[in-house]
Structure 1
Amino acid sequence: MKLSIITINYNNGQGLEETIVSVINQTYRDFQYIVIDGNSTDGSRDVLEKYDKYIDKWISEPDSGIYNAMNKGAYFANGEYLLFLNSGDYLYNKNSLENLFKNNFHEDIVSCSLYTYSKKNICVQTPPRKISLYTFIDGSSLAHPSTLISKKIFLQVGGYNEDSKIVSDWIFFIEALIINNCSYISFPKIILSSFNCFGVSSTSTEQRLLEVQKYLGGKFPRIIEDYMSLKEEFISNSIYWIVSRSNFFKFLLIVPFKIINRVLRLRNYLGKRVGIYFIKS
C-alpha cells in the first residue's frame, strides 16, 4: 500500500466529518485511512460510527496529547508513506491525491503546497525547492497536512517528540532532513491540503517561539550564536551604510524597498524558505 492517511481528533466532531468526507471522496484509492480520537465527548464517536465502513482503523481512547495521538496512528499504518491530516483540515479537492501520485517519486519526504485560511487571511504556503538548516532557523517548517513522510524514516527518527506540545512536527523535520540527511522532493504547483489556522500550533505563537528557541539552543548552540551575531552585524552594517551616504533622506526612503526586494529575490533564488502567498487579507 502506498499511503496511510492519519487523522487525529479531540472534541471537534464537525471538523472531523469535513476531514473524513474529503478523504473518502478521493479519486485515488490506494490508501489506508486511520482515525485516532482522544475519547471525545462531543459526538465525535457518532461521526466515526457513521463513516465506519470507510475507515480502515479507528479508536477512541484517552491519549497524552496531539503528538502521542499522531504516533499512535503511525503505529497502525501499513502504507509506504504517512500523511497526517488532522480534524478540521481536508484534502484540497477530490483529485488531490491523484494529482500527486501521477508523479514518480521515491524520496523520503514529499512536500506539496498548502491552502490555509483564518478569519483574516487566506493564503497558499509553498514548500522550498531545497532544504537546509536555513529553512527552519526561524521556526518555519514544512506543512505536515501537505507533506508525505516515509514510514521508514518516521520510525528511524523515532516519531514525534511527545515532550513538545506545539513544534514537534518542526523538530521532526529537522531531525529527518538536517541530522539524518534524508531525501526530499517538493511539488509546489500541487495544492494537496487545506489547513485550518485556528489550531493549537497556529494560535500559541509565544509558546511556539519558546519551544523553537529551546530546541535550537540545545541542539545547535554554536550555530545559533553565530547566526544571531550575523543578523545583528548585518543590521548594523546596513544602518552605517545608509547614514554614511550623501542625500540621506533620499536613501532613507529608497533603500529599505531595495533591501526588501533583494532579500525576496535571494530567498526565491536559493529556494530554501517556505513561501507564503496571500490570496485574501
Structure 2
Amino acid sequence: MPVFSKISIVTPSYNQAHLLEETILSILGQRYPNLELLIMDGGSTDNSVDVIKKYENEITYWISEKDNGQAAAINSGFRKATGDILMWINSDDMLMPGALSSVAEIVRDKGDKVFIGDCLHFRKQPGGPLDAWGSDVANDSKKLDLSTFDYVIQPSSFWTRSVWKITGPLNETLHYAFDWEWFLRCRSKGIAFEYVDKCLSMYRYHEGHKSSGGGEQRRAELLNIYRRFNPGKADLYALLMQEADRKHSLIYRGIKKSLHFFKSNHSYARLLKAVYPGKFACYSIDDIELLVRML
C-alpha cells in the first residue's frame, strides 16, 4: 500500500465568495486521502462564511476574523498545520486535477526541497473572450536568476515542513512581494529548487486581482527586495520605476513614431535608451526588458 504523506494547504481569503468555492472544490476534488485544508478568512463581509460552512465537514480548520494582512494569515495557518508537505493557494486560484498525488510522489522521491511546477494562466472579462496561456518555468529557471526575475508561480510551488522551519515564516511587513522574498530567503539558506514537469495549478487574473493593482506600494516592495538580494539590479529598477508612468508621454510617442518611420524595433527598452541615452547607457536591452516585466 502506498504511503500518502500529509499535505497541508492554507487558503487565505477576503471578500472573494464568488471565487472561493471553485478554489475549495479544486482542493477537495483531488480526493487526496491525507489532506489538511485550512482556510484563513480575513473577516469577509460578503457570503464567504456561508461558502466555507457548506464544506466545513471536509475542512480541517477555518476562521473568519480581521487579520494583519495576507502574509500574516498564511503564517497563522501554517502554525496550525501539521502536514509533512506545505503549500498555499489563494482564493482566486485552483489546483489542477491530480496535483496533490503528483506532489506527494515527487516529495517521496526527492526529499527536502522547494518544488516549482507549471501553471495555466487565464483571464475572463465579463462579456469578453477567455484568454489563457501557459508557463515555461523550466526554461525560465535555467536562463534567469531568481533574484532578478520572479519566475516561481506560487500556487504551483510546494515544499517540506523542514524547508519551512529552516527558512522561517513569511515577512508580514510585505503585502505584495512576500512570496518572492520568501523564495529568495529559501535559496539564501541553501535550499535546493527543483522544477516539476507538471501543470499543477490555474492562476486567475480578474478585476480584483491583488498583484495587478499593487501600484507604487508593490514596486517599492520589489525595489527593497532587489536592494537586499540583487543590489546590482536595484538602481536599474529604481530608474524604471521613475519611468513607469511616462509610457504615454508626448516624448515617448514622438520617439516611437520616429523609430517606426526608420523601421527600428521600437520596444520600450529601446525607447528608453533612445530618449535617455546617458541614463540607460550602461544597461542592456535584455536587462531593461526583463525588469520592465517586474513593474
Q: What are the residue-to-residue correspondences of 1:179-194 with 2, within 5 Å?
A: 179-188=188-197, 190-194=198-202
Partner of 1:243: none
Distance 1:181 1:43, change over 3 A: same
Q: Given the alignment of the two structures, is residue 107 of structure 1 paired with residue 144 of structure 2, yes or no?
A: no
Calculate percent identity across the aligned residue pairs.
27
Q: Given the alignment of the two structures, is residue 214 of structure 1 paired with residue 185 of structure 2, yes or no?
A: no
Q: SS of 1:135's equivalent?
A: coil
Does the aligned pair in 2 maintain the 1:111–1:186 contact within 8 Å? yes
RMSD over aligned Cα atoms: 2.8
Does the aligned pair in 2 maintain the 1:32–1:79 contact within 8 Å? yes
Q: TM-score, normalised by structure 1?
A: 0.73
1: CA distance, partners of 2:163 / 2:41: 25
- Give the Å deviation of 1:14: 2.0
Q: Given the alignment of the two structures, is residue 14 of structure 1 paired with residue 32 of structure 2, yes or no?
A: no
2: CA distance, partners of 1:91 / 1:167: 22
1: CA distance, partners of 2:138 / 2:220: 24
Q: What are the residue-to-residue correspondences of 1:7-46 with 2, within 5 Å?
A: 7-46=11-50
Counterpart residue type for residue 199 of structure 2: I
Match of 1:90 among 86, 90, 94: 94
Does the aligned pair in 2 maintain the 1:33–1:56 contact within 8 Å? yes
- Give the Å deviation of 1:220: 4.0
1: CA distance, partners of 2:82 / 2:234: 42
- Give the Å deviation of 1:169: 0.2
Does the aligned pair in 1 maintain the 2:10–2:77 contact within 8 Å? yes
- Give the Å deviation of 1:28: 2.7
Q: SS of 1:75's equivalent?
A: helix
Q: SS of 1:7's equivalent?
A: strand
- Give the Å deviation of 1:200: 0.8
Q: SS of 1:118's equivalent?
A: strand
Q: Given the alignment of the two structures, is residue 134 of structure 1 paired with residue 142 of structure 2, yes or no?
A: no
Counterpart residue type for residue 153 of structure 1: V
Q: SS of 1:36's equivalent?
A: strand
Q: Given the alignment of the two structures, is residue 197 of structure 1 paired with residue 197 of structure 2, yes or no?
A: no
1: CA distance, partners of 2:217 / 2:123: 20
5+ residue gaps, structure 1: 229-251, 257-272, 277-281
- Give the Å deviation of 1:148: 0.2
> Higher relative contact order at CA 8 Å, sep ≥6: structure 1 or structure 2?
1
- Give the Å deviation of 1:226: 9.1
- Give the Å deviation of 1:155: 2.8
Q: What are the residue-to-residue correspondences of 1:243-254 with 2, within 5 Å?
A: none
Q: Deviations over 1:122-178 (max 9, x none)?
A: 11123246579823314x24111110022222232221111111001000001101x
Does the aligned pair in 2 maintain the 1:38–1:69 contact within 8 Å? yes
Does the aligned pair in 1 maintain the 2:147–2:229 contact within 8 Å? no
Does the aligned pair in 2 maintain the 1:4–1:82 contact within 8 Å? yes
Does the aligned pair in 1 maintain the 2:112–2:162 contact within 8 Å? no
- Give the Å deviation of 1:101: 3.3
2: CA distance, partners of 1:61 / 1:156: 29
1: CA distance, partners of 2:91 / 2:19: 5
Q: SS of 2:43's equivalent?
A: coil
Q: TM-score, normalised by structure 2?
A: 0.70
1: CA distance, partners of 2:88 / 2:25: 15
1: CA distance, partners of 2:35 / 2:70: 22
- How many residue pairs match? The answer is 231
Match of 2:158 among 148, 155, 168: 148
2: CA distance, partners of 1:72 / 1:65: 11
Q: SS of 2:27's equivalent?
A: helix
Distance 1:117 1:207, change over 3 A: farther
1: CA distance, partners of 2:265 / 2:225: 35
2: CA distance, partners of 1:191 / 1:225: 32
5+ residue gaps, structure 2: 126-130, 238-261, 267-289
